[in-house]
Homo-oligomer: A and B are copies of this chain.
Amino acid sequence: MDAYLLSIQPTSAEPIYRQITGQIRRLAAGGQLRPGDALPSVREVAAAHAINPMTVSRAYSQLEAEGVLVRLRGKGMVVAEAAAADPSPRRWALIDPALDAVARQARELELPADELLARLAQRLQQEDSP
């Protein structure tokens, strides 16, 4: 995995270390990161995104505690065997909160369901191609 594949937005309200954990967690659950795949080193990620190594280290440590990554001493972090692509139900569980939030906000804004779905469909297509 390339350090630049992570998308870090330092200005976001979401803490940097949480952006990292969330993305890696989802990439592993979705199968784009497979058991045994090596992750970019803490220093690589830190340099690539101009952030502090400890911030990256914190994210990796948390993923290790969750069982998503395992530490190979002296070699770095790799995706854990136990973190093979999640079965469908567990993957949906990871996106459920975001879907709930969208539905609630749409109801509060009284936005029509059909157009909402159309807008989401458009985004899903756009991001598929590139």
Q: Which residues of B contact A120 (CB under 8 A)?
A: 99, 102-103, 116-117, 120
- What is the number of residues of chain A that contact chain B, defined by CB distance less than 8 Å? 49
Interface string of A77-115 (1 = CB under 8 A from B): 000000000000001101100111111111111110100
Docked Cα-Cα span, A19 to B110, in Å, equals 18
Q: Which of A11, A23, A29, A104 has the most CB of B within 10 A?
A: A104
Please name the residue on chain B nearest to A24 by beta carbon: B108
**A105 touches which one: B15, B26, B110 (CB < 8 A)?**
B26
Complex interface: chain B residues within 8 A of A117 (CB):
117, 120-121, 124
Whether B128 lies near A107 (C-beta < 8 A) is yes
